A and B are shown apart, each in its own frame.
Chain A
Amino acid sequence: MTGQIVVQFLTGLASAASLFLIAAGLSIIFGVTRIVNFAHGSLYMLGAFIAYSLTQRLAAGTAYGFWISVLLAAFVVALIGVVIEILMLRRIYRAPELFQLLATFGVVLVVQDAALWIWGPVDLMGPRAPGLDSAVDILGQRLPEYDIALIVISPVVLGLLWLLFHRTRWGILVRAATQDREMVGALGRNQAWLFTSVFFVGAFLAGLGGAIQLPKGGADLLIDLNVIAAAFVVVVVGGMGSITGAFLAAILIGELQAFAVLVLPESTLVIMFLAMAVVLVVRPWGLLGRPMGEHAPGQAAEPLLRPATPRARLAWAALIGLLLVLPLIAEDFTLTLTIEIVILALFAASLHFIMGPGGMVSFGHAAYFGLGAYGAALLATTLNTPMELALLAAPVVAGLGALVFGWFCVRLSGVYLAMLTLAFAQIAWSVVFQWYEFTGGEDGLLGIRRTPWADDRIVFYYLVLAACGVAIYAMRRMIFAPFGYAVRAGRDSRLRADAIGIDCRRFDWMAFLVAGAMAGIAGGLYVYSKGSVFPDEMSIPRSVDGLVMVLLGGVQTLSGPIFGAAGFTWLQDEISRLEYWRFILGGTIIGLVLAFPQGLGGIWRQIEALIRRRRATGIEAGR
């Protein structure tokens, strides 16, 4: 018994090693550049793949060859990181933080397809580390020798990083930059060099993390998003920008998972995110983090929010008219696509509701879409609930989820809030994914049929249009009603809102509830449009889809998310038949962010301003 506990403890320490490496890299990069690098998991994945290829070629089967391969892989990944920094991030350091995030997600997609193209779709088994390929006996239990190597590696790396940050000029500069952003600006020309070198070190650590776990986990195309979620958890639990914090958090998470396997194997995914939620509620800035200023990502100077002008109303009327007559003129597949667009427009509008007026960025909005979808689907499959009732239940289920998750989330702000939303979304996802008997796990729930009267595509189209139209209109009304003003007041100035008697936390919570319930309506309709539901509907990529729609459409405008949803869904539909569609999508996102760092909504405003100026000069000239 003791033997088992000791060995399990050591296994936990071993799995903490690669978590620590990737989290340390993520933390260093965030500390200095304030970029939440979604692509960090991709760098880790590349580390694993490159190390695999190198171990096949470099003195295969010798310990010397293995370790050289690992280090070389980390070095190559570091260079890739530098290329990403120079070609992409350097151009958008001044853009809103969310756009930087979006660009790094573009990199995730590009790398996914690049890896698919180079290494193929098959999971690769990692080679065993020569010389460390047997197991040792500990109190009657066996522990792989390689685990001992891993246990040794992380404190060694922590020590080396400590020396780097405390004994070199560069390290002192990095620490200073992490603590004082204004100092970074004062560096002038050196700033570009500092950022690039920080990216080099961060990417090196990610690559090393991927490479050293190769003998244990191998290399596959899914580890990027799985590991980035875990790395976010470790960084947030440890405290953004704190390497020692990341070390402690990695051990905490590694141990929790190691022992969760013994008690309840299905809980391994959930336990990590639960730990994060608990830590954030008790210590909102992580174990060793320091409070950040009252600054939420993507919060530039907010422009005035104005009701629609007569011309805008006319445009809306025209659009609605077109949608109403669409079944008369459009073919089946156009109608199907439009149904999807309208549903996702509601999803995007609900995300915009908390992001725009609420100023709370959610990385996990798919949770509520998925809760609505699974709520409706489970009612239909297990209780034979009719469609009408299931559709009404969807927002209730999602709203309840939002009420519970939101209660925790509104206690935080900025990046921490965003990370917590991601954590909750991952909890919901892992429950659905791992609870096979109830949710069908990966196989999803199939055969959800519409009520006979709505079975016809055209009838269902009008149903979707009416439900989503009413929901979107209702949110619009709320934004311009006192409730919306109260929410915006809390976003604009907490201090002032408090001083005039507004309970900001309560209003944020209510906004969360509204957004969640609305996303739930979208999720319920989605299930009945597809006839099935899969865990993908609440996964990270679905959440990011929502972010892309809102950000491309423009956070500042209310119509933005609707057009963002239309453009994005159409594009995805156009390219999804191609083999490397992720590459195209990722490339498009990166291109758009680089070309229009203020968002597509921003361009529209620029054009408008230009027209107004021209007209003004025209009037003057006419005088």
Chain B
Amino acid sequence: MTVLEVRDLYKGFGGVQAVAGISFGVAEGELLAMIGPNGAGKSTCFNMLNGQLRPDGGSVHLNGRDITGLPPRDVSRLGVGRTFQITATFGSMTVAENVQTTLIAHHRGLRGLWRPAAALHRDAAMALLERVGMAEQADRACGVLAYGDLKRVELAVALANDPMLLLMDEPTAGMAPGERVELMALTAEITRERNIAVLFTEHDMDVVFTHADRVIVLNRGKLIAEGTPEDVRANRRVRELYLGESAEAG
């Protein structure tokens, strides 16, 4: 079943058409990688999916529901988890509190004025942290964690609102090669067991070809190829783009 359905998305900045008519879908339990050179329109496209940017044209549907142009907080409430290229967590809270805050938000409990938040959803938060391998560091401040660990926390936070879709912008950027494989393997495992649809952008081709079920390739705001990692690897236009190979002159 298709979770995310993107139809004919457009976005321009001044004279530049950053995204010029892109359509694709992501199915349940599927890991879809979005790749392309710098400036291909990946980030712009991504930011339109979760509402940070409003598209000029086209539509975004989540489980058949039109979410085009909704602000990020509404998109989140409809079941979309998000991780960022540069991790965004709450530095003045512990690892567990980061997840707890998300859980409280998910259960619409943020208006509570009296009962201490520290006791709320603690077990659920610990279970999530256990799943991403961060349970031991649950009571450390987020501000002092190693970057790789921060990425794990972000994954736990993104999972906390029980999403049907996970949007991950360069999930392994800034990590050591060993950590990258580990984190993506973990992500793949979790998304399969929860049957979540995942869309991620990535520069590391090893990560893409190892973990993605399907790949879409963007260039200059347009979709130029789509298919299994093998198909895409063999695609002439993709090879031209990445390797500068020109199969035909002109």
Contacts and interface: CB of A to CB of B under 8 A. Distances in A.
A binds B: yes
A496 B157 contact: yes
A500 B114 contact: no
B113 A496 contact: no
B92 A492 contact: yes
Interface string B183-195: 0000000000000
B91 A481 contact: no
A325 interface: no
Contacts of B111: 482-483
B74, B76, B105: residue with the most chain A Cβ atoms closer than 10 Å = B105
A478, A492, A496, A499: residue with the most chain B Cβ atoms closer than 10 Å = A499
B113, B114, B120: residue with the most chain A Cβ atoms closer than 10 Å = B113
Interface in B109-148: 109-118, 120, 141, 143
B160 interface: yes
A499 B88 contact: yes
Nearest to B160: A500
B161 interface: yes
A486 B116 contact: no
A477 B160 CA distance: 25
A486 B91 contact: no
Contact of A489 (B52, B101, B118, B160): B101
A488 B141 contact: no
Given A482-B111, A500-B105, A489 B72 contact: no
B101 A485 contact: yes
A496 B90 contact: yes
A467 interface: no
A484 B92 CA distance: 12
B92 A500 contact: no
Nearest to B86: A495
A305 interface: yes
Contacts of B141: 303-304
A301 interface: yes
Interface string A358-372: 000000000000000
B81, B90, B111, B141: residue with the most chain A Cβ atoms closer than 10 Å = B90
B89 interface: yes
Contact of A500 (B101, B117, B118): B101
Given A304-B141, A480-B117, A481-B117, A496 B89 contact: yes
A501 B106 contact: yes
B104 A488 contact: no
A483 B73 CA distance: 17
Interface string B144-161: 000000000000011011
A528 interface: no
Contact of B102 (A477, A478, A500): A500
B73 A493 contact: no
A443 interface: no
B216 to A, nearest CB: 23
Contacts of A501: 73-74, 76-77, 105-106, 161
Interface in B48-87: 50, 52, 71-74, 76-77, 81-82, 84
Contact of B109 (A307, A482, A492): A482
Contacts of A496: 84, 88-90, 157
How many B residues are at the interface, by size bracket? 35 or more
A498 B118 contact: no
A499 B154 CA distance: 11
Nearest to A502: B105
Interface in B176-212: none
Contact of B73 (A301, A307, A481, A503): A503
Interface string A465-482: 000000000000110111
A536 to B, nearest CB: 33
Contacts, number: 115
A485 B73 contact: no
Contacts of A388: none
A301 B90 CA distance: 11
Contacts of A493: 88-91
Interface residues of A, number: 30
A477 B73 CA distance: 26
Contacts of A503: 73
A507 interface: yes
A332 interface: no
B168 to A, nearest CB: 12
Contacts of B82: 499
A485 B113 CA distance: 10
A302 interface: yes
Given A304-B141, A485-B110, A492-B92, A499 B72 contact: yes
B93 interface: yes
A481 B76 contact: no
Contacts of A491: 92
Given A303-B141, A496-B89, A485 B104 contact: yes
B94 interface: yes
A498 B73 contact: yes
B30 interface: no
A483 B108 CA distance: 11
A447 to B, nearest CB: 38
B93 A502 contact: no
Contacts of B109: 482
A304 B92 contact: yes
A512 B62 CA distance: 35
Contacts of A480: 116-118
B170 interface: no
B90 A492 contact: yes
B81 to A, nearest CB: 8
Nearest to A477: B114
A304 B145 CA distance: 13
Contacts of A485: 93, 97, 100-101, 104, 110, 117
A359 to B, nearest CB: 10
Contacts of B102: 500
B82 to A, nearest CB: 4
A304 B98 CA distance: 12
A482 B92 CA distance: 14
Contacts of B71: 498
B90 A489 contact: yes
Given A489-B101, A492-B91, A481 B160 contact: no
A304 B97 CA distance: 10
A478, A485, A498: residue with the most chain B Cβ atoms closer than 10 Å = A485
A483 B112 CA distance: 6
Nearest to A356: B92
Contacts of A488: 90, 92-93
A486 B84 CA distance: 20
A483 B97 CA distance: 13
B92 A305 contact: yes
B105 A495 contact: no
A486 B50 contact: no
B242 to A, nearest CB: 30
Nearest to B83: A499
Contacts of A499: 50, 72-73, 76, 81-82, 84, 88, 158
A290 B50 CA distance: 26
A490 to B, nearest CB: 9
Q: For the complex of A and B, list the 5 residue pairs with the smallest distance between their C-beta atoms, beginning with the closest.
A: A302-B92, A496-B88, A492-B90, A482-B112, A501-B76
Given A499-B82, A500-B106, 10 more contacts: A302-B92, A303-B141, A484-B117, A485-B104, A485-B110, A492-B90, A493-B91, A495-B88, A496-B90, A501-B76
19 contacts: A303-B141, A304-B141, A478-B114, A481-B114, A482-B111, A482-B112, A485-B100, A489-B101, A496-B84, A497-B90, A498-B72, A498-B73, A499-B50, A499-B73, A499-B76, A500-B73, A500-B105, A501-B74, A502-B110
Interface of A: 301-305, 307, 477-478, 480-486, 488-489, 491-493, 495-503, 507
